[in-house]
Amino acid sequence: MTSAGDTSQLFAAAAVRSWAEAVLTRAGLSGSDAATVASSLAFADERGVSTHGVARVPLYVRRLQRGGIIATAKPQVITDAGALCVIDGHGAAGAVTAILAVAEAAARARLHGTGVSLVRGGNDIGAAGYYASQLAGAGCFGMAACNSDAVMCAPGAATPVLGTNPVAVAVPGTALLLDMATSAAAYGKIADAAAQGRAIPAGWGADSAGQVTTDPRQVLDGGCVLPAAGPKGFGLAFMIDALAALAGARTSPFIASVDAQPAVPQDLGMVFFAIDAASCGEPGAFADRVADLAAAVQATTTTNGSPAMVPGEPEEARRATLRRNVGLPDHLVAELRALGAECLVPFPLPSEAEMADYRMEAR
């Protein structure tokens, strides 16, 4: 919950999404592709994860202008093996490729009980949870994962070698959603802390000498992100890279930097697994078991006396608090306003009445 002292502003979610779509269209994407990317970013913003939302529009515009995202590229299925397909994104916007892969995985799951899409030729996709949620919306137990450029070091090392390689899992018929980086924190959270001049928790990153630091600038300038739970997070990230290799994509050490190399398509890999819930029999019993599982967790309490939460619950609570608005930090608003002026698409005005209510709730 934001406190009265936080420097953030509220904007109508629909207006921000429309702005992102218009800017991405100006940058060269077709209307439908721009809408696809904007929807993926809105998902993150509306759940309070601003690092994976409209904050990425300036990056995507820069990559579209320089060629790292190929605006006219059309992802295509290049291998059709029944329940499995391989897709080449050909350098298209990451969300555009990922949504095709989701549709293919869901369709194959309906036909075969399970469906798998492996992707090469991809670019940054934003929040992996968006795609797992799309699979869940299609009635599938869904998993989405991808690799990324190297920013995370091995346990005890100081050289970035793997990406934060996120993985997300969603359960059909529920709001249950696990969406996590395999690093201790998403790279975007560290970059956001640096932009706001805030320290980061110890354990998120290390400096160039491999020493744990709370200064985000030391992590970004020659340092590295640390893996979640040491060798466990690193091992999971490694295996996501191995799946990317199975798709024919580059692995993390050889992926172009999404920030530093805007003219180079990343050729990262993605994987989407879908299990058709209806094909497993007893859908009602499945729903009851999952509900009982969630209730058992929520019946326990944390050390501060509040109920324990299940995956996805904190973000859903945030979404309810925002009430169809998105909260954006001041430094990001300034950047988006500048981009809007450059693209002749003015950024929306803040929701002042909503902001007043929001501040009252935060006290």
CATH 3.30.60.50 location in the chain: 184-226
CATH 1.10.1530.10 location in the chain: 1-66+324-363
* 286, HSE (Cβ side, Cα atoms, 13 Å): 15
What pLDDT digit, counting tens, does each position of 223-256 carry?
999 999 999 999 999 999 999 999 999 999 999 9
* 1 — pLDDT class (breaks 50, 70, 90): very low
Range of lowest pLDDT (72-76, 142-146, 164-168, 358-362): 358-362
* 177, HSE (Cβ side, Cα atoms, 13 Å): 25
Domain 1-66+324-363 grouped into CATH 1.10.1530.10: yes
CATH architecture of structural domain 72-182+232-280:
2-Layer Sandwich (3.30)
What pLDDT digit, counting tens, does each position of 24-77 carry?
999 999 999 999 999 999 999 999 999 999 999 999 999 999 999 999 999 999
- DSSP sequence for 135-189: HHHTTEEEEEEE--SS-EEPTT--SEEE----EEEE-TTS--EEEE-SBSS-HHH
* 357 — pLDDT class (breaks 50, 70, 90): low
CATH 3.30.1370.60 location in the chain: 72-182+232-280
What pLDDT digit, counting tens, does each position of 124-159 carry?
999 999 999 999 999 999 999 999 999 999 999 999
pLDDT at 29: 98
Q: What is the CATH number of domain 184-226?
A: 3.30.60.50
Cα separation of the two ends of the chain: 9
pLDDT at 354: 57
Distance, CA of 18 to CA of 194 (rounded, Å):
28
pLDDT at 231: 98
What are the φ/ψ torsions at residue 353 (nearest 5 degrees)? -65, -45
To the question of pTM greater than 0.75 for the whole model, the response is: yes
**330 contacts 7 by C-beta, under 8 angstroms:** yes
Distance, CA of 146 to CA of 116 (rounded, Å):
13
Question: Is it the case that residue 205 has pLDDT exceeding 80?
Answer: yes
